[in-house]
Every structure is written in C-alpha cells, then in structure tokens.
Amino acid sequence: MRSTRQKQCDRCSDSPSVLYRVQMDESGQWFFVCDRCLPTLKDNNSAYRYGGTWKAKKR
Ligand SMILES: [Zn+2]
C-alpha cells in the first residue's frame, strides 16, 4: 500500500520529506516542489508565490 503521507515534487518527481507549496505561473495553480527545484522556479519569475511548507513527518 502506498503511503498517503508522501507527496512528490511536481518538477522532478522526487519524494522528499519537505516540499514547498508555490505558484509558478499565472494560472494560480499550486504546485509542490522540493528544495532543489525551488530556486529554479523563483528565478526570473514574477508569478512566483510562496504558499507554505509541507512536511511528511507526522508528530
Ligand atoms: Zn524537485
């Protein structure tokens, strides 16, 4: 059974324990990206918006 606590990065399909919720275009759609992909999205992107951090770890 797949863990429902895992999310994938929308850019590289990695499944890190922390993802960042961001908007990267004018559609207003939210994406989840890892910390490696995050800088590449922020670069020269006026539509970039940060919406919070998602963590897989459960307390
Ligand atoms: Zn990624």
- What 3-state DSSP class applies to 2? coil
pTM of the model as a whole: 0.82
Distance 16 CA to ligand 1 centre (A): 8
- pLDDT tens digits, 9-56: 999 999 999 999 999 999 999 999 999 999 999 999 999 999 999 998
Q: Which domains does the chain carry?
A: 1-59 (3.30.60)
In the prediction, which pLDDT does 33 show?
Answer: 97
Measured distance between the N- and C-terminal CA atoms of the chain, rounded to whole angstroms: 21
Higher-pLDDT residue of 2 and 52 is 52
Distance 52 CA to ligand 1 centre (A): 16
Q: In this structure, how many other beta carbons lie within 10 angstroms of the beta carbon of residue 16?
A: 20
Distance 12 CA to ligand 1 centre (A): 4
Could you write out the DSSP letters of every residue in 3-55? -TT----TTT----SEEEEEE-STT--EEEE-TTTHHHHHTT-TT-EEEEEEE
pLDDT at position 3 over 80: no
